[in-house]
Amino acid sequence: MRRTLAGALVFAATAVALAFLLFPIVAIFARVPPGRLVAQLSNPVVADALVVSLKTSAIAQALVLALGTPAAFVLATRRFPGRPLVVTLTELPLVLPPAVAGIGLIAAFGRFGLLGGTLSTLGIRLGLTQAAVVLAVAFVSSPLYLRQAIATFETVDPDVVAAARTLGAGPARTFFRVVLPLARGGLAAGAALSFARGLGEFGATIMFAGSLQGVTQTLPLAIYTEFAVDFDVTLAMSALLVVVSAALLVALKVTLQWQPSRPTSRFLFATSS
Amino acid sequence: MAALATDFTLPLRDFELELALPVEGVVALVGPSGAGKSSALRVVAGLARPSRGRVALGDETWVDAERGVFLPPERRRVGLVFQEYALFPHLSVRGNVAFGAGGRPVGELLERFHVSHLAEARPRELSGGERQRVALARALARDPEVLLLDEPLSALDAHTKSAVRAELAEVLRGLDLPTLLVTHDYEDAAALADEVGVLVDGRLRQLSSPAELVARPRDAFVASFTGANLLHGRARRDGGPLTAVRLEGGEEVLSTDEAEGEVGVVVYPWEISVARAHAGAGDSALNVVRGEIGSVVEVANRVRVRIGPVTAEVTAASAARLELERGGTAYATFKATGTRLVPLTGS
């Protein structure tokens, strides 16, 4: 009798937890029929926000991959004093409140920021530009990629890398023919995670880049702005983000499933040692 | 064929590895794990940088620490077979072997190592023996001038090991390359190499042919490592041709070697014969040790039997005839000429 009661409680807790997580998502699609959701995509606010979001996220992601991959490789394979501290610092933007990230970016690159003077003598003004959106997105999303990439590079067998060297491959050929193919799955997973995070970026962007339709207004910013104007448009954009995020999540899971020989690539945290 | 010559110091965590070694033909480094064996290979391959000394192949200098010379691995013509083989998991067998071949066709190599039929297979689909053949083919595809093997047989199970060992010995003989291999198993070393160096805590204790190592072990460690019985005792000269050694257990054994004081008495299992009854004092130069039978283990067609402090090796037939069983009493007898007396220092 007591066992059935305990079982029922566990079942109920599970049901409540799942319902709580799914209900808001279902609600987005339930309020407005799908036909009207699709029709909202031609609304200029939505179309502009979608273009700004995709463009800035893509550029930010390219920067994260181009700079983050070599950085992660160095942090994964070199042992130097202070390495745990450096790895932890790269993860800091992840746990920062977005508003603090925004203030940090303003303090660093804003007109009156540390680098503001230097940038303006170079004729660069970041405020209210897409470059500012890209910086904000890269700042908050790159730690996710870095962390995953470091963990992935750490799982590459150093003997296999050494074998490539003794077989006549220099460091560059070894990296592109051996390390990168072996790390591919984990790097793709990290990229998907950081892209999804970047796409949803709100706080740092609105503080650092503002919310200018067609320029810096990304989907999350447009949702916030339109909320007071037209709830249906807000729902349409939310639905759009749910679909894109879900697609990224599925792609991520599939990528990880395809690496059965290296289960360690599932680690989403870099070791700090 | 240019010879490989090393003379270097490599600081390791607990000690320094010092290795002055000419390598012509096949040389094996044996020693307990953690003796610095694999590090020696890494220095020759260019994967570890010694703090002092030189590595050279003929008149080509690979390392000269004092002059700051250190060729990276890719510029040394060296084939290294890793302990766990370190095959590229994302490449087929053909892709693995072709990696270092520089565009030359590898069909012949695959043929030679009997892996042609596996050319498109991935490493994870191969057995241990197959992996080793692929690793060897891959190392040779670069046409190396030095071959390095790290514990080539340790990743194999006992069943396939003896067959692979014979195969590998055959391959090494045919290659005619200066080869340095490391193993913790003296028998593997003796089967594969022309010369065996015993490495302990980063120091080379003895370097000689396998036969010489058994006939004249330099110290107690070398003796016990090569599979000998080692009995501790105290030697005294009594003026005659023989040295009497009073063992820790109280018995006295005789040796034709000369020594004084604390010594190790070395006697190989195959020098010992086993009886169930005392043969009597017919031969004064015959040592007899009486003891309880501790274990009886079959190894191939031989039987190793532990009698008191010594292990003897007899044929399976005589083991059956003697009805050797644990707990019984037996007599181990060996000639004074079959013993070596070695210093105990460094054991």
Distance (Å, whole) CA A162 – CA B14: 24
How many other C-beta atoms lie within 10 A of the C-beta of residue B323?
Answer: 8
- Contacts of residue A177 in chain B, CB cutoff 8 Å? 99
Are A177 and A168 in contact by the 8 Å Cβ rule? The answer is no
pLDDT in tens, chain B (347 residues): 789 999 999 999 889 999 999 999 999 999 888 888 999 999 999 999 999 999 999 999 999 999 999 999 999 999 999 999 999 999 999 999 999 998 889 999 999 999 999 999 999 999 888 999 999 999 999 999 999 999 988 878 877 888 888 889 999 999 989 999 999 888 899 999 999 999 988 999 999 999 898 888 888 888 888 888 898 999 987 777 888 898 888 888 888 888 888 899 999 988 898 988 876 656 667 888 888 898 888 877 788 889 988 899 888 888 888 888 888 888 999 998 889 898 886 54
In chain A, the residue whose alpha carbon lies closest to the alpha carbon of B142 is A167
Report the DSSP beta bridge partners of residue B266. B230, B340
Nearest CA-CA distance, residue A247 and chain B, Å: 27
- Contacts of residue B45 in chain A, CB cutoff 8 Å? 162, 166
Distance (Å, whole) CA A95 – CA A84: 17
| Residue B191 CA: distances (Å) to CA of B166, B181, B313 | 8, 12, 19
Q: What is the pLDDT of residues A162-191, one digit of tens each?
A: 999 999 999 999 999 999 999 998 999 899
Residues of B with CB under 8 A from a CB of A: 42, 45-47, 72-74, 76, 78-80, 82-84, 86-90, 99-100, 102, 124, 138-139, 141-142
Residues B82, A162: C-beta atoms closer than 8 Å:
yes
Helix (H) / strand (E) element for A225: namely: helix A219-226
Using left for φ > 0, alpha for ψ between -120 and 50, and beta otherwise, residue A168 falls in left
- Residues with Cβ within 8 Å of B267's Cβ and at least 6 positions away in sequence, in order, are B228, B229, B231, B310, B334, B338, B339, B340
Using left for φ > 0, alpha for ψ between -120 and 50, and beta otherwise, residue B67 falls in alpha
Tokens 């490495």 — which residue? B199
Mean per-residue pLDDT over chain A, rounded = 87
- Contacts of residue A164 in chain B, CB cutoff 8 Å? 88, 99
Helix (H) / strand (E) element for A203: namely: helix A203-208
Residue B78 phi/psi, 5° resolution? -135, 135
Look at residue A273 and tell me whether its pLDDT is greater than 60: no
Residue of B76, B84, B90 lying closest to A182 (CB–CB): B90
Residue of B74, B83, B88 lying closest to A160 (CB–CB): B88
Nearest CA-CA distance, residue A124 and chain B, Å: 44
Tokens 């030697």 — which residue? B235
Closest CA to B189 of B174, B204, B211: B211
Residue B217 phi/psi, 5° resolution? -65, 135
Q: What is the pLDDT of residues A108-122, one digit of tens each?
A: 988 888 888 888 888
How would you list the strands of the sheet with B339-342, edge to edge? B252-255, B243-247, B229-237, B261-267, B339-342
Residue B159 Cα to chain centre, angstroms: 19
Residues B73, A157: C-beta atoms closer than 8 Å:
no
Residues B82, A164: C-beta atoms closer than 8 Å:
no
Residues B99, A167: C-beta atoms closer than 8 Å:
yes
* Least confident window among A138-147, A255-264, B152-161: A255-264
> Rounded mean pLDDT of A16-38?
87
Q: Both ends of chain A: CA-CA distance in Å?
A: 50
**ipTM surpasses cut 0.90:** no
Decide the pairing of beta strands B339-342 and B261-267.
antiparallel
Where in chain A does DSSP place strands (E)?
none
| Residue A39 CA: distances (Å) to CA of A26, A46, A228, A233, A234 | 19, 10, 20, 10, 13
In chain A, the residue whose alpha carbon lies closest to the alpha carbon of B48 is A162
Distance (Å, whole) CA B275 – CA B223: 25
- Coil, strand or helix at A114: coil
Provide the residue type at B276 as one letter. R
Nearest CA-CA distance, residue B255 and chain A, Å: 49
Decide the pairing of beta strands B146-150 and B310-315.
unpaired
Dihedral angle, C-alpha B288, B290, B291, B297, nearest 10 °: 40
Residue of B45, B86, B124 lying closest to A261 (CB–CB): B124
Look at residue A44 and tell me whether its pLDDT is greater than 50: yes
Distance (Å, whole) CA B280 – CA B289: 12
What pLDDT score was predicted for residue B286?
83
What pLDDT score was predicted for residue B280?
61
Residues making up chain A, counted from first to last: 273
What pLDDT score was predicted for residue A260?
42
Decide the pairing of beta strands B26-30 and B195-200.
parallel
The DSSP secondary-structure symbol of A264 reads: G
Q: Higher model confidence: residue A123 or residue B90?
A: B90
Closest CA to B38 of B171, B205, B196, B184: B184
Residues B86, A165: C-beta atoms closer than 8 Å:
no
What pLDDT score was predicted for residue B159?
78
Distance (Å, whole) CA B198 – CA B182: 10
- Contacts of residue B100 in chain A, CB cutoff 8 Å? 166-169
Residue of A159, A181, A261 lying closest to B82 (CB–CB): A159
Residues A166, B45: C-beta atoms closer than 8 Å:
yes
Residue B345 phi/psi, 5° resolution? -60, 140
Which of B41, B88, B126 would you mutate first to test chain A, the one with the most A CBs within 10 A? B88
Look at residue A272 and tell me whether its pLDDT is greater than 70: no
HSE-up (13 A, CA, CB side) for residue A121: 4
Are B81 and B149 in contact by the 8 Å Cβ rule? The answer is yes
Residue A231's pLDDT band, with cuts at 50, 70 and 90, is: confident
Residues B138, A178: C-beta atoms closer than 8 Å:
no
Residues A162, B138: C-beta atoms closer than 8 Å:
no
Which of A166, A173, A259, A264 would you mutate first to test chain B, the one with the most B CBs within 10 A? A166
Distance (Å, whole) CA A187 – CA A190: 5
DSSP letters spanning B125-167:
GS-HHHHHHHHHHHHHHT--SEEEEESTTTTS-HHHHHHHHHH
Are A189 and A252 in contact by the 8 Å Cβ rule? The answer is yes
Whole-model pTM?
0.79
HSE-up (13 A, CA, CB side) for residue B169: 14
Closest CA to B196 of B31, B13, B38: B31
What pLDDT score was predicted for residue B73?
95
Where in B31-130 does DSSP place strands (E)?
52-57, 60-64, 69-70, 78-81
Are B199 and B20 in contact by the 8 Å Cβ rule? The answer is no
Largest Cα span, chain B: 74
| Sign of the alpha-carbon dihedral angle for B284, B286, B287, B292 | negative
Look at residue A264 and tell me whether its pLDDT is greater than 50: no
- Contacts of residue B102 in chain A, CB cutoff 8 Å? 168
As given in the structure block, the two tokens for residue A146 are 């870095």
- Coil, strand or helix at B70: strand
Look at residue A10 and tell me whether its pLDDT is greater than 90: yes
Are B9 and B43 in contact by the 8 Å Cβ rule? The answer is no
Q: What is the pLDDT of residues B41-87, one digit of tens each?
A: 999 999 999 999 999 999 999 999 999 999 999 999 999 999 999 99
Which of B41, B47, B142, B147 would you mutate first to test chain A, the one with the most A CBs within 10 A? B47
Q: Higher model confidence: residue B158 or residue A132?
A: A132
> Rounded mean pLDDT of A194-202?
91
Residue A271's pLDDT band, with cuts at 50, 70 and 90, is: very low
- Contacts of residue B82 in chain A, CB cutoff 8 Å? 159, 162-163
Closest CA to A200 of A65, A101, A53: A53
Look at residue A36 and tell me whether its pLDDT is greater than 90: no
